[in-house]
Amino acid sequence: MDVIEELKAVRGRDIPYSRVLSSMCTVPHPVAAEAHSLFIETNLGDPGIFVGTMELEKKVISMLGRLLGNKNAAGYISSGGTEANIQGIRAARNLKKVDKPNIVIPKSAHFSFEKIGDILGVEIRRAKLDENYCVDVSEVEKLVDDNTVALVGIAGTTELGQVDDIKELGKIAEDQNVFLHIDAAFGGLVLPFLDEKVPFDFEVRAVSSITVDPHKMGMATIPAGGILFRDETFLKALEVETPYLTTRFQYTLTGTRPGTGVASTYAVLKHLGYDGMKGIVRECLRNTRTLVEEMKTLGFEPVVEPVMNVVSFHARDASRLKDELYRRRWVISTIREPEAIRMVIMPHVNEEMIKEFISDFRQMLIR
């Protein structure tokens, strides 16, 4: 068998996105796929060679920065939200220079923060959530001490899409003179396009860094995460010397890294523009409302009314439901607190797919 035929067969065993309601990734926009193939051999680990690609990255960071309230933001396109969060906290730790650094994060934070504690030797303090599953700011305040280097706020939690009170976190960060990192890996490319403005970005004065992932709602090709800092000083705090490359210093976590994410992010943002992105987000939210209405007819209530296109529904035996759906080739996920089934309504999820899912789910439930 020809190797390409072999590879096609392998891909055929993957579940297509048309059956996936659990992922924060999606089918890349066609313009992103085209841009990706144009930049397939680029390596931003050696920017002296890929001069054009490097300039494009600066442009992309400035576009994302403008969207997030700071056109002078510094940063880069990372391998994803995990790397972006690592680098956000690493910069804070390096700048603060305390003996036993700690960070205060919400209990709802993504599991990448577990890795951060381990890799960076930073103690992770988890603050409780309030009744809306947003971080309880008074709990955050109690956990801060002289060794705290940063607070973390989430703009679009992985499980429920909730947004923490970033303004209040900002007040604590200013009072205590600590950095404030915002994990907007998902929400960073949703919230700017909502009719109702939610404060979460650099417009909140205390915000020092933001994770924002184009390979999620930005419809860029994987991998394309983003770490944005308020200014260059944070990048300086990440630099190591690079003796044999075309540039002397490197602030990224990975060495060799693709320019494909940069090109595909640029392509989508430029091609769709603000209004085009707003249209995509509006459609995802419309589909989310349809899903919620349909799920209610099956007796499932959302844990919270979704602010964005992530929604979890109370369910007894959530794991069993997930497994049974998986056997029918539908992929959803579960959350533990409270026990619920979780769905993400990405751009590949359309009304027809929702109807098909609900119909299969209904049949499964009456058996």
Give one DSSP letter per residue of 14-49, joined into a string. Answer: SPPGGGBSS-S--PPPHHHHHHHHHTTT-BTTSTTT
> What's the min distance (Å) between Cβ of 213 and ligand PLP?
5
Considering beta carbons, is residue 75 or 294 the nearer one to ligand PLP?
75
Contacts of 9 (CB under 8 A, 6+ apart): 1
Considering beta carbons, is residue 189 or 206 the nearer one to ligand PLP?
189
Contacts of 354 (CB under 8 A, 6+ apart): 287, 290, 291, 294
Comparing CA positions, the residue from 346, 83, 46 lying closest to residue 226 is 83
Binding site for ligand PLP (CB under 6 A): 24, 80-82, 85, 110, 112, 154, 158, 183, 185-186, 213, 225
> What's the min distance (Å) between Cβ of 154 and ligand PLP?
6
> What's the min distance (Å) between Cβ of 265 and ligand PLP?
13
Give one DSSP letter per residue of 121-152, joined into a string. Answer: T-EEEEEPB-TTSSB-HHHHHHH--TTEEEEE
Comparing CA positions, the residue from 317, 85, 285 lying closest to residue 196 is 285
Question: What pairing do the DSSP bridges indicate for beta strands 310-314 and 340-344?
Answer: antiparallel
Considering beta carbons, is residue 85 or 287 the nearer one to ligand PLP?
85
> What's the min distance (Å) between Cβ of 8 and ligand PLP?
26
> What's the min distance (Å) between Cβ of 161 and ligand PLP?
9
Considering beta carbons, is residue 46 or 342 the nearer one to ligand PLP?
342
Structure tokens at 354: 């929702």
Asked if 61 and 73 touch (Cβ cutoff 8 Å), the reply is: yes
SS3 212: coil
Considering beta carbons, is residue 47 or 106 the nearer one to ligand PLP?
106
> What's the min distance (Å) between Cβ of 185 and ligand PLP?
3
> What's the min distance (Å) between Cβ of 99 and ligand PLP?
28
> What's the min distance (Å) between Cβ of 9 and ligand PLP?
27
Considering beta carbons, is residue 78 or 250 the nearer one to ligand PLP?
78
Comparing CA positions, the residue from 89, 47, 68, 24 lying closest to residue 224 is 24
Asked if 220 and 260 touch (Cβ cutoff 8 Å), the reply is: no
Structure tokens at 302: 């959302």
Considering beta carbons, is residue 23 or 242 the nearer one to ligand PLP?
23
Considering beta carbons, is residue 47 or 81 the nearer one to ligand PLP?
81
DSSP bridge pairs for 344: 310
